[in-house]
Amino acid sequence: MALFAGQFLLLFFAFTEGIPAGLASVPQQPQVFFTVTPAACLLRDLPDLRQDIGLGVALAGLVLIGLTTGADLKPAALALAMDAAFSWAVGNILVKRTSDVPMFPLMFWASLVPPISALLVSSFTISIRC
């Protein structure tokens, strides 16, 4: 649920809150930081120096992009997009913990969850509006 359903549903809600489509991929990038920190603490999967340098460069790029964002970005939309990135990171940690599971079948079956979840959430949302 976290890897695909949570990520995509939260991102779709960010779209409904008004995040521009061209900007939607930028708040997804912090999932790297949301993944690395818990992986280091919980799984003892520590990044090496080269990866730390890459994380620093990536963070600097995200900050530069963030400084150029206009005032039309709604805080709720940004928060939902960041929540989507966090959901993605939780899914990454869960997949990392299941290292003995073949990845292709796992990704295949995990890909079937979002359409069902989206259908249920959209049905519930439509019934509330009616």
Q: Could you give the number of structural domains in the chain?
A: 1
Domain boundaries, position 28:
2-129
The pLDDT value recorded for residue 52 is 92
* Nearest alpha carbon to residue 28 among 97, 107, 84: 84
The reported pTM is 0.79
- H helix runs in the chain, sequence order: 7-16, 31-42, 49-67, 75-97, 103-111, 113-129
* Nearest alpha carbon to residue 65 among 35, 23, 103: 23
Q: 53-107, pLDDT tens digit by residue?
A: 999 998 898 888 777 766 677 888 888 999 999 999 998 898 888 878 888 988 8
The pLDDT value recorded for residue 118 is 80
The pLDDT value recorded for residue 20 is 86
Task: Indicate if the pLDDT at residue 114 is higher than 90.
Answer: no
pLDDT band of residue 36 (cuts 50, 70, 90) is very high
